């Protein structure tokens, strides 16, 4: 649930998201929720493909700038890997 003042991940109509029920990519479409037309949705980590967590929404930091692309807000993951092997067949 969203609280007043929270900054959250949001997708507008037409966005391609991972369906939380099927795990497949699907397009977000305009639809009525409780009789009110909805042109977008607040997202969980699962819908964004970040984790299997779907119980709550992705709440962003308070200093996140509004309307900034999500990739700029949360950044990217960098794996720093080193190995002692110097032969490809040992990797």
Q: Tens of pLDDT along 63-80?
A: 888 888 888 888 877 778
Closest C-alpha to 48, from 14, 15, 2, 6: 15
Domain hosting 42: range is 7-61+68-90
Please tell me whether the overall predicted TM-score, pTM, comes out greater than 0.75 for this model: no
1: in domain: no
Band (pLDDT 50/70/90 cuts) for residue 91 is: low
Would you say residue 2 lies in a domain? Answer: no
Task: Give strand ranges (E) for the chain.
Answer: 7-8, 10-12, 16-18, 25-27, 31-33, 36-38, 40-42, 59-60
Residue 32 has a pLDDT of: 92
- Residue 86: the pLDDT is 76
Whether 26 is covered by a domain: the verdict is: yes
């Amino acid at each position: 649930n969203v609280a007043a003042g929270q900054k959250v991940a949001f997708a507008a109509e037409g966005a391609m998201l991972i369906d939380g029920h099927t795990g497949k990519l699907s397009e977000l479409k305009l639809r009525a929720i409780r009789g009110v037309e909805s042109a977008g949705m607040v997202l969980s980590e699962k819908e964004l493909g970040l984790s299997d967590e779907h119980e709550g929404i992705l709440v962003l930091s308070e200093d996140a700038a509004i309307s900034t692309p999500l990739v700029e807000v949360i950044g990217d993951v960098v794996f720093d890997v080193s190995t002692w092997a110097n032969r490809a067949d040992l990797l």
